[in-house]
Amino acid sequence: MIIWITGISASGKSTMYYKVLSRLGVGYKNMNDCIPFYTFNDIITIGRYSQSGKTLNGTDGVMVSKDRFKRFIDTEYQNYRHILIEGNKFTTEEVLDHLLKYDLKVFHLTASLEETLVRSRKRNTGFDNNKITLQFSKNHIKRYERLYNKTKYKKNIEIRPNLNIKDSNNTADEIFRILDPKLNQRRLLDFE
């Protein structure tokens, strides 16, 4: 399954991603077709880092075209039980249509505009200071609403509030249950 964590800037995507990664154990850094990723047994996570505190992780740190990204997914989907993706970079109709041929679940995180602006200011990165405005965030929300309200995506999109620690932990738990890294170990024991 492909699990993709999306949401507007400062909606908590990276925090959610790292909560899940921290429970997967030790990951091993890899690169294929110029796309950085980590392997956790039969699960891969796309991004340059496996620990929090870094900027430009997830798809933000993947400096390739949409076609190369789709090719990477086509190749790696055959090799791993799950692919975990975080970020906005490739959330387009073209890419989502391509991924519909696979088992795809998108977790779209929502938070109030006010909360995302507060979070953005706290992060204090160049992007946050120069780009994240109320209008930028409103435009981002409209783009997602247009995309995710299409009938063809309804069964693949899960909208989750991410207003506080409880919301964040609940969604991280839900994603982790889907990934279930112990499932592969149980399968191996069944064959012994």
Mean pLDDT along residues 41-65 = 81
Q: In what order do the strands lie in the sheet containing 43-46? A: 28-32, 35-40, 43-46, 82-86, 2-7, 104-110, 157-161
Give per-residue pLDDT as tens, 28-49.
Answer: 999 888 899 999 999 999 988 7
Distance CA 5, CA 108 (A): 6
Q: What is the pLDDT of residue 39?
A: 93
With 50 as the cut, is the pLDDT of residue 77 above it? yes
Q: Beta strands 43-46 and 35-40: pairing type? A: antiparallel
Give per-residue pLDDT as tens, 152-164.
Answer: 999 999 999 999 9
